[in-house]
A and B are shown apart, each in its own frame.
Chain A
Amino acid sequence: GDSVTQMEGPVTLSEEAFLTINCTYTATGYPSLFWYVQYPGEGLQLLLKATKADDKGSNKGFEATYRKETTSFHLEKGSVQVSDSAVYFCALSGAYNFNKFYFGSGTKLNVKP
């Protein structure tokens, strides 16, 4: 079945460091891919998405490219801030089950000043 695997955390970085959070997926066909962020005490917020191969999603300095050949959707940011500290979830909605979202286990990011 469809599934998402993302790197375990926590990831601890200094402010202005480069961020990569790895995400790979297993799915039939061409799923849509998403990154959600969960700040402490809050619900999930959509960070960015890509709906077809080679698409790049971007928002707030974060980027991720849908790589069909490596079944990956890695999240990157060139210079993190303390305010980026949160839990990041990679997710997919299946090509044939659009209404079901499959989430990874989440990666906690801690950014130190």
Chain B
Amino acid sequence: DAGVTQSPTHLIKTRGQHVTLRCSPISGHKSVSWYQQVLGQGPQFIFQYYEKEERGRGNFPDRFSARQFPNYSSELNVNALLLGDSALYLCASSIGQYNEQFFGPGTRLTVL
């Protein structure tokens, strides 16, 4: 069975640009969570979506937004990119809102 997949693998943007990251959960999983992992630190929770609704939000500015589609895939959008947004963005899926999370390999975003 396929695990959580994320695209693209790597991305380079410049300050002020916008970026969209994509995540496909494990088949049958209805919840997707997004995390930001800055180099040398642990992942920080950004959002959780369950059944296409936002169910949790971390301490991130409004430049960060996300959505979940009817097929349970998800997009994370970041506007007006800053240098500090450079990080590994991880997506995790789970069967339900409170179940064990399975992580994808991440998207490495570099902002120049």
Do the two chains bind? Answer: yes
Query: Interface of A with B (CB < 8 Å)?
Result: 4, 36, 41-46, 49, 89, 91, 93, 97-106
Evaluate contact between A43 and B90: CB separation under 8 angstroms.
yes
Task: Please report the number of residue pairs spanning A and B whose Cβ atoms sit closer than 8 angstroms.
Answer: 55
> A41's closest neighbor in chain B, by CB?
B105
Q: Output the least CB separation between B94 and chain A (Å).
A: 9
Q: Would you call B4 and A43 a contact (CB within 8 A)?
A: yes
Residue positions of B touching A, CB distance < 8 A: 4, 31, 33, 35, 40-45, 48, 50, 55-56, 58, 90, 92, 97-98, 100-106
CB–CB A44/B90 < 8 A: yes
Q: For residue A102, which residues in chain B have a CB less than 8 angstroms away from its CB?
A: 45
- Known contacts: A43-B90, A43-B103, A105-B40. The answer to whether A98 contacts B98 by CB under 8 A is yes
Q: Which residue of A lies closest to B3 (CB)?
A: A43
> What's the nearest-Cβ distance from chain B to residue A101, in Å?
6
Task: Give the residue name and chain of the B residue nearest to A93 (CB).
Answer: B98
